[in-house]
Amino acid sequence: MSLDVIILAAGAGTRMRSALPKVLHGVGAKPMLEHVVDTARQLNARHIQVVYGHGGVAVRTVLAHLDVMWTEQGQQLGTGHAVAAALGVSPLAPLNPGLPPVNAHDTVLVLYGDVPLIGAETLQRVISAAQDNSLGLLTVVLDNPRGYGRILRDAHNNVTRIVEEKDATDEQRQVREINTGILAASSEKLQKWLAVLDNNNAQGEYYLTDIIAMAVRDGVKVVPVEPDSITETLGVNNRMQLAEAERYYQRTQAERLMLQGATLRDPARIDVRGEVSVGTDITVDVNVIFEGKVVLGNGVRVGANTVIRNTIIGDHAEILENCVIEDAVIGRHSRIGPFARIRPETVLADNVHIGNFVEIKKTRVDQGSKINHLSYVGDATVGRNVNIGAGTITCNYDGANKYQTVIGDNVFVGSDSQLVAPVTIGEGATIGAGSTITRNAPPGELTLSRTPQQSKAGWKRPAKKKDSGISSG
Ligand code: UD1
Ligand code: CA
């Protein structure tokens, strides 16, 4: 038996009120449709087909990297029509030439691009429920079932059919068990049923849900399956539900990190928008955002209000409050911040200290060096055990080109110095405070450029004129 997954994603998503197609809206910064594809990938399916329509070009462009089959549904005539398009069922839909031949024992699983949190374990149970003579249907019982298709059962509690809310009687609307939309069935039978669907209903649509009654008529048992958690089946139709899905997703991410040994001061105040891997005994304070691929070594501490993007942080490094770190490598036992900005292509070796109001860009800083206050270091290499004083600036840009600053091991740069690149400060050199260095500084020597200090004896500070009686306003 092999499995094919069909993901329905052709709907307009009108209630999002957005120029962006609904399924491209992100949860944890990843498009909802990509979440569903990634989950489907875990099921070892032979094919994953995405039925797209509205905003089709944008969807295919943004998600071009996904290894899926794309089926265009030109007109959105209903969920049954969409699945028929994917399966190439005639005459409802034109035959899809890219499709493999159907095997009597193949199973089809139907998913939705706007149900992003569905879990692989739940789906595995839906798939297992679908045998040659049974169909798996994911249902949940809701306090407020409004808007959903209702599951109707007979006196023996067997599922008999689904009625859409708009077609339901008042009595049927009292039913709180609803159709999540997710189902699995034999592809051969599905094709047979879809071929005879009609649209004689309140919405004039070809309802996928109508196949339930057909299955029962054909003696195929409908097996209801419950999800591991009801939150998995949350469908996103508007931005309130999108925010709700985001919170559930973030809760799951936080729980995963805690189970892996991270202490989160408040699991509700951390956001993971990408993939974070953690060592043991990590502590993360509140309002921290991780983006892209982030690796945190053992014993790393991250202070409040910090954003870390695509960065590797070595064991026992400490990121203090209010830092922004992007595309960087931070060495072991280093200490960053508070209020530091580490920009792309920065590599800090072990035991480096970067302090408050320091910006580092495209720079390599070797072991044990310190840049502790109010500095800009860009396009530079900094050797070992260097001390860069407060207010030091590498002048790397002449308005057209960028130039390198090379600082040797054991250099001491006095405060408020400007190093005008391209320039090299030799090993062990000392730069006097307040210097503007425009030529290479030799190793081991003191180099300084400074206007001589003078004092004027008897000089008087100008005094304000005596009050003339006219208000100065
Ligand atoms: C559908 C179910 C309903 C269920 C609900 C769960 C049907 C007839 N009804 O209703 O029983 O309770 O989902 O959320 O199936 N789509 C297409 N092409 C189309 C129509 C829809 O790709 O022609 C896609 C949409 O993009 C969406 C999904 O199918 O992802 C569901 O469509 P929607 O119109 O929202 O169905 P509901 O009325 O919510
Ligand atoms: Ca819907």
CATH number at residue 74: 3.90.550.10
Q: Which residues line ligand 1 (CB under 6 A)?
A: 8-11, 51, 73, 76-79, 81-82, 112-114, 148-149, 162, 164, 178-181, 207-209, 235
What letters, b where the CB count within 10 A reaches 16 and e where it falls short, cover 98-125?
A: eeeebeeebbbbbbbbbbbbbbeebbbb
pLDDT digits (tens, 9 = 90+) for 413-434: 999 999 999 999 999 999 999 9
Going from the Cα of 164 to the center of ligand 2, the distance in angstroms, rounded, reads 11
pLDDT at 262 over 60: yes
What is the extent of the structural domain holding 442?
Answer: 261-447
Beta bridge partners of residue 406, listed in sequence order? 381, 424
Which ligand has the minimum distance to the alpha carbon of residue 7? 1
pLDDT digits (tens, 9 = 90+) for 234-243: 999 999 999 9
Q: Quick check: 395 and 421 in contact, CB under 8 A?
A: yes
Whose CA is closest to atom 26 on ligand 1?
Answer: 11
Ligand 1 atom with the shortest distance to the CA of 237: 35
pTM score above 0.85: yes
Ligand 1 atom with the shortest distance to the CA of 52: 22
pLDDT at 28 over 60: yes
Structure confidence at residue 156 (pLDDT):
96
Structure confidence at residue 55 (pLDDT):
80
Domain annotation covers residue 7: yes
pLDDT at 334 over 60: yes
* Whole-number Å distance between alpha carbons of 24 and 10: 12
Same domain (yes/no): 179, 293 = no
Domain annotation covers residue 241: no
Domain annotation covers residue 95: yes
Count of structural domains within the chain: 2
- DSSP assigned state of 308: E
Going from the Cα of 33 to the center of ligand 1, the distance in angstroms, rounded, reads 15
Domain annotation covers residue 442: yes
Place of tokens 């005879």: 196
Structure confidence at residue 96 (pLDDT):
60
**What is the average per-residue pLDDT within 37-62?**
94
Ligand 1 atom with the shortest distance to the CA of 115: 30
Structure confidence at residue 442 (pLDDT):
98
> What are the strands, taking DSSP E only, across 28-78?
30-31, 47-52, 69-72
Query: Which of 25, 75, 79 has most ligand 1 atoms within 8 Å of its beta carbon, as the pocket-test mutant?
Result: 79
pLDDT at 345 over 60: yes
Same domain (yes/no): 276, 379 = yes
Which ligand has the minimum distance to the alpha carbon of residue 79? 1
Going from the Cα of 209 to the center of ligand 1, the distance in angstroms, rounded, reads 9
Structure confidence at residue 54 (pLDDT):
78
Same domain (yes/no): 227, 350 = no
Going from the Cα of 234 to the center of ligand 2, the distance in angstroms, rounded, reads 10
Ligand 1 atom with the shortest distance to the CA of 148: 12
Structure confidence at residue 467 (pLDDT):
72
Nearest to 88 by CA among 74, 76, 101, 77: 101
Ligand 1 atom with the shortest distance to the CA of 162: 11
Same domain (yes/no): 418, 333 = yes
Ligand 1 atom with the shortest distance to the CA of 205: 8
- DSSP assigned state of 23: G
In 3-state terms, what secondary structure has residue 71?
strand
Structure confidence at residue 100 (pLDDT):
62
Which ligand has the minimum distance to the alpha carbon of residue 201? 1
Structure confidence at residue 12 (pLDDT):
82
Nearest to 162 by CA among 92, 227, 215: 215
pLDDT at 101 over 80: no
* Whole-number Å distance between alpha carbons of 121 and 133: 22
Helix (H) / strand (E) containing 123: helix 120-129
Nearest to 264 by CA among 274, 273, 255, 276: 255
Same domain (yes/no): 45, 174 = yes
Domain annotation covers residue 310: yes
Which ligand has the minimum distance to the alpha carbon of residue 76? 1
Which ligand has the minimum distance to the alpha carbon of residue 49? 1
- DSSP assigned state of 106: -
Same domain (yes/no): 217, 273 = no
Phi, psi of 223 (to 5 degrees): -105, 110
Domain annotation covers residue 254: no
Assigned token pair, 211? 């196949």
Query: Residue 289 maps to which CATH number?
Result: 2.160.10.10
pLDDT at 11 over 90: no
Cβ atoms < 10 Å from Cβ of 457: 4
Peptide bond connecting 91 to the previous residue in cis, omega within 30 degrees of 0: yes
Going from the Cα of 230 to the center of ligand 1, the distance in angstroms, rounded, reads 18
Going from the Cα of 146 to the center of ligand 2, the distance in angstroms, rounded, reads 12
Nearest to 352 by CA among 338, 327, 369, 339: 369
Same domain (yes/no): 277, 204 = no
Same domain (yes/no): 74, 189 = yes
Q: Quick check: 184 and 136 in contact, CB under 8 A?
A: yes
- DSSP assigned state of 61: H
Same domain (yes/no): 267, 226 = no
Name the residues annotated as catalytic: 373
Least confident of 11-25, 359-373, 377-391: 11-25
Same domain (yes/no): 211, 307 = no
**What is the average per-residue pLDDT within 231-250?**
97
Same domain (yes/no): 66, 198 = yes
pLDDT digits (tens, 9 = 90+) for 274-307: 999 999 999 999 999 999 999 999 999 999 999 9
Same domain (yes/no): 366, 296 = yes
Going from the Cα of 39 to the center of ligand 2, the distance in angstroms, rounded, reads 20
Average pLDDT over the chain, rounded to an integer: 95
**What is the average per-residue pLDDT within 335-342?**
98
Domain annotation covers residue 79: yes
Going from the Cα of 14 to the center of ligand 1, the distance in angstroms, rounded, reads 13
Query: Residue 466: which pLDDT band, with cuts at 50, 70 and 90?
Result: confident
Domain annotation covers residue 243: no
